[in-house]
Amino acid sequence: MNVLPPSQRPRWPREAREAGRPMLPQHRSRRSHNAINAGVFVSIVVSLALTTWASTWLPMPAFVSLGGLAYGLTVYAGLAVVVHEASHRVFFLVGDAAQTRAVNRVVGWTFSLPFAVHYVRHQEEGHAVRRKQVMGVLVWVFYLPALALLAWTAP
């Protein structure tokens, strides 16, 4: 790989990094940052609960299509937002670095386990857990049990 000497490198990447630095979570109010992310956390849990509840009253064809979409978006939000941010140790910002790491690890495991993602491995390998593997597991973890619930509760 050819690396340019510092005098020949373009200035715009460094300028862009510096311009974005005030927007990093560490430079914002912890209270507002944590409140926003707590809202995200709660909304994802509520979305899963409401989608599951909808399976009790929606006709099966409607739930299979709408419920699948709702579960898919919720799973994506859980993995793409919560687990990703927790693995960077910025989903919740608390006390010192050790406390922040511990809290984010709990949050990361909370959302990783239902989707059969090993959180520490995901974090250490730099998010290298393949999405294709995760999506295959999701069919077994959410979609098929929802279909079974519908079949069991159908009149």
**C-alpha to C-alpha distance for 109 and 100, rounded to whole angstroms:** 14
**pLDDT at res. 30:** 84
| pTM confidence score | 0.63
In a domain, 19, yes or no: no
In a domain, 31, yes or no: yes
User: What are 112-153's pLDDT values in tens digits?
Assistant: 887 777 787 777 665 554 554 555 555 555 655 666 665 666
Q: Where are the alpha helices (DSSP H) in the chain?
A: 12-20, 30-54, 60-77, 84-87, 97-112, 119-124, 131-138, 144-153
Query: Domain range spanning residue 59?
Result: 26-153
Among 8-17, 89-98, 127-136, name the one with the lowest average pLDDT.
127-136
In a domain, 55, yes or no: yes
For residue 86, which of 127, 46, 49, 115 has the smallest C-alpha distance?
A: 127
In a domain, 119, yes or no: yes
Give every CB contact of residue 92 below 8 A, 6+ residues apart in sequence.
34, 37, 38, 86, 100, 103, 104, 107
Residue 71's pLDDT band (cuts 50, 70, 90): confident
In the structure encoding, which two tokens stand for residue 103, read together?
Answer: 């809290």
Domain count, the chain: 1
User: What are 14-41's pLDDT values in tens digits?
Assistant: 787 788 777 777 677 888 888 888 898 8
48-56: long-range contacts (C-beta < 8 A, 24 or more apart)?
Answer: 48/74, 52/146, 52/149, 55/146, 55/149, 55/150, 55/153, 56/153
In a domain, 89, yes or no: yes
In a domain, 148, yes or no: yes
In a domain, 3, yes or no: no
Residues 107 and 82 sit within 8 Å (Cβ to Cβ): yes
Give every CB contact of residue 13 below 8 A, 6+ residues apart in sequence.
none
In a domain, 5, yes or no: no
